[in-house]
Structure 1
Amino acid sequence: MDFKKFDQRNYPTVSAKEGYGEWAETYENSVPDLLDLQTLHQIKSVSWNDSKACLDLACGTGRIGVWLKSKGVNTIDGLDLTPEMLEKAKAKNIYQKLKLGSVESTGLSENHYDLLVMSLVDEHLKNLKPVYEEAHRLAKPGAKFVVVGMHPFFFMTGMPTHFKDKEGNSKAIETNLHLISDHVRAAMAAGWRLEEMHEGLINDDWVKVKPKWEKFRDYPVSYGYVWSRP
């Protein structure tokens, strides 16, 4: 679904690779843990410390990798489209290997990972089918694929993924809208089975972090899926 008809900010828009390259220096200071880490904490169907080989898809600065490490995941590979983000991830010394590449076509070995995680990515993909198919190719039988992101309903309030550049100007990153049913269709067509799902709402914790979001109280803001490969 085209985000443009919902857009109320009309910021200059750049590609994901360009945008995250500029955003890398300040990214971790501007993304609330409530958006993804809170959702990960709610997941019950994944035994994190049982993983022998984990892939952090679109690992960015390594925020998710740090969280996975804290949960006992010892062997983590990371992949990201942006060299500047990978440099930040490398500095954390938690990844076994890091690779520059797309989540839709990673170039990694098939049937290798028992756990795959992808956070805050889907809005930058025009089509969900390729990433679910690629994750299935990379996964061992019995593997789990955890997908976390911003809820499509919240994007419909008119706010794209955005950041401030070095001059303090706001820029948007190309944003696409994928409904929950879009995820379900793409994942099931690729061979995944849904194990668990969460939807997070704007609550008191959110309003403390972003007081201006009081007007969005009780709106869905995040989602989390756990898929398994039979």
Structure 2
Amino acid sequence: MIYEHPLAYVLGVEGLALLRSYRGEHDREFVDARLTEIRKLLDDDTLATAAVEVARVETVEGYEIWSKTYDDPNSAFDIDEPIVHGIVDALPAGVALDAACGTGRLAAHLAGRGHRILGVDSSPDMLERARARVPQGDFRLGDLSRLPIPDDAVDLVVCSLALTHVADLGPALAEFARVLRPGGHVVTSDIHPEGVARGVVPSVRLAGGRPGRVATYHHLIGDYIRAALAAGLQVRRCEEPRHPRADTAVPAAAETLGPWDLWPWCLDDLVPEAARAILAGTPTMVIWHFQLSG
């Protein structure tokens, strides 16, 4: 069980923003404003009594729930798609595996670029939606650490927003390398480890409206590199885009807590200046392009 306290979250945001002042990023006015805001937060009874116990939900169960709304507007899609599409569109068409394909978001794009599509996901509900979206694709139930794909079968593997849900990157990257033909490519996107550390973890609602969090693991940038190199994959490109809101005007602070289904990101609205200071200097996603030695 995960214990989530809104006061702890917003104080953490304030603290991260204040630490930036030690790098010379903020002036005295910013620091004084943060300290004043912290005092106000500590006196807010609505925050002090709003803590919740949140269930840790395994991936299959979590994505079964999430599949019904997975294709709703999602800022992560807006951030990774231009970069991922730019990488894969420069590669020749061939056999492409969408690993942890979800509802077939990337598979649909690759099919439109002339690739023959294979898709693997551990959620039957996600696969059902992927088959409807890309009817010419071959979608199979399976796990990232044991892909139901033969050796040397594909030219490209894409994997979006999934590797943060595996405890160990090694087996998944080794599987990507196994199914690739020599010289093949791997393109992955994930929530940046900085974001995972701040609690950017998918939320779901369980029976009776109980809050849950899909099991998520904090992989460092070096963890991706070590796992890739061990599998015989070489780094071709790494991108760490920031959130688009990092460059927009700071909104006025919200007066009340946002909807709990957006927890904890809605809490940023209570401390928008501190939250924007973090966004301005912190990547929101990490996107990798690897290539198998040929």
Instruction: Give the structure-1-normalised TM-score.
Output: 0.86
Q: Is the 8 A contact 2:240 2:284 kept in 1?
A: yes
Check the 8 A contact 1:35/1:150 in 2, yes or no: no
Q: Which residue of 2 aligns with 1:62?
A: 104
Cα 1:207–1:12 change in 2 (3 A) is farther
Question: Secondary structure, in 3 states, of the residue corresponding to 2:198?
Answer: coil
Counterpart CA distance in 2 for 1:92 and 1:76 is 12
Does 1 or 2 have the higher relative contact order (CA < 8 Å, sep 6+)?
1
Kindly name which structure, 1 or 2, has the bigger radius of gyration based on alpha carbons.
2
Matched, 1:98 2:160: no
The structure-2 alpha-carbon separation of the partners of 1:184 and 1:123, relative to structure 1 and needing over 3 Å to count, comes to: same
- Tell me which residue corresponds to 1:38: 82
User: Alpha-carbon deviations, 1:117-172, whole Å to 9, x = none?
Assistant: 00001111000000111111100011000011110011111232223457555321
Cα 1:57/1:20, change in 2 over 3 Å: same
Counterpart of 1:224 in structure 2 is 287
Q: Which moved more, 1:115-124 or 1:169-178?
A: 169-178
**What is the alpha-carbon distance in structure 1 between the residues aligned to residue 170 and residue 63 of structure 2?**
23
* Residues 108, 134 of structure 2: 8 Å contact kept: no
CA contact (8 A) 1:34 1:206 kept: no
CA contact (8 A) 1:117 1:145 kept: yes
1:162 has 2:162 as partner: no
Shift of 1:37: 1.2
Taking a change above 3 Å as real, the CA distance of residues 158 and 189 of structure 1, as seen in their structure-2 partners, is same
Matched-pair contact (CA < 8 Å) for 1:53–1:113: yes
CA deviation string 1:193-230 (max 9, x = no partner): 1111100112338969x885751422211011110011
Distance 1:93 1:46, change over 3 A: closer
Change (3 A) 1:130 1:202: same
* Cα RMSD for the two superposed structures: 2.7
Secondary structure at the counterpart of residue 153 of structure 1: helix
2:178 equivalent to 1:137: yes
Q: Secondary structure at the match of 2:54?
A: coil
In the alignment, the residues of structure 1 paired with residue 285 and residue 186 of structure 2 have an alpha-carbon distance, to the nearest angstrom, of 17
Q: Which structure 2 segments of 5+ residues have no match?
A: 10-51, 250-264
1:51: how far off?
Answer: 2.2
Task: Give the deviation of 1:46 after TM superposition.
Answer: 5.8
Aligned to 2:234: 193
Gaps of 5+ in 1: none
* Bigger mean CA offset, 50-59 vs 152-161: 152-161
Contact map agreement 1:39 1:200 (CA 8 A) in 2: no
Mapped contact 1:39–1:148 kept (Cα < 8 A): no
The alpha carbon displacement at 1:25 in A equals 0.6
Which residues of 2 match residues 202-213 of structure 1 at below 5 A?
A: 202-204=243-245, 212=268
Per the TM alignment, residue 91 of structure 1 is displaced from its structure 2 partner at its CA by 0.7
Q: Is the Cα–Cα contact under 8 Å of residues 195 and 284 in structure 2 kept in the other structure? A: yes
Q: 1:95 to 1:178 in 2, by over 3 A?
A: farther
Task: Give the superposition deviation at 1:103.
Answer: 1.0
Residue 127 (structure 1) aligns with:
168
Normalized per residue, which structure has more helix?
A: 2
Matched positions, count: 223
